[in-house]
Amino acid sequence: MTGTTRSAATTYVLVGLGVVAIVVAALHLGLPDPDVSIRNHHIQHAFFVLGGALLGVALARGRARPAAGAGHGANAWLLPAIAAPLAIMFAMWPSTYEYIEERPLLHVAEHGVFIVLAAITTFAGWRFSRGTGWLLGGMATAMAWAAAFGFGVTPPLVTLPASTLAVASPTATSPAGASPAGAQPVDGATVYQNCVPCHQAQGTGLPGAFPPLAGHLPQLLAAPGGREYVEHVLLYGLQGSIAVAGRTYDGVMPAWGHLGDDELAAVLDYVAGSWGNALPAGQQPVTAAEFAAARVKQLTPQEVHALRQGLDLP
> Over the stretch 76-111, which tens digit does the pLDDT of each residue have?
898 999 999 999 888 887 667 667 766 788 888 999
User: How many CB atoms within 10 Å of residue 301?
Assistant: 17
> Which pLDDT belongs to residue 171?
34
298 Cβ neighbours under 8 A, 6+ residues apart: 236
2 confidence band (pLDDT: 50, 70, 90): low
Q: What are the b/e assignments for 116-144, b being 16+ CB within 10 Å? A: bbbbbbbbbbbbbbbebbeebbeebbebb
138 confidence band (pLDDT: 50, 70, 90): very high
197 confidence band (pLDDT: 50, 70, 90): confident
Residue 196's Cβ-side half-sphere holds a number of Cα atoms within 13 Å equal to: 13
In this prediction, residues 286-310 reach a mean pLDDT of: 91
CA–CA gap between residue 48 and residue 142 (Å, rounded):
12
Residue 205 pLDDT more than 80? yes
154 confidence band (pLDDT: 50, 70, 90): very low
pTM of the model: 0.53
**With contact defined as beta carbons under 8 Å apart, do 272 and 245 qualify?**
no
283 Cβ neighbours under 8 A, 6+ residues apart: 221, 227
Residue 35 pLDDT more than 80? no
126 Cβ neighbours under 8 A, 6+ residues apart: 56, 57, 60, 61, 66, 132, 133, 134
Domain with CATH 1.10.760.10 in the chain: 170-309
What SS3 state is found at 289?
A: helix
Options 1.10.760.10, 3.30.300.30, 3.40.50.300, 1.10.1040.10; CATH of 170-309: 1.10.760.10
CA–CA gap between residue 117 and residue 122 (Å, rounded):
9
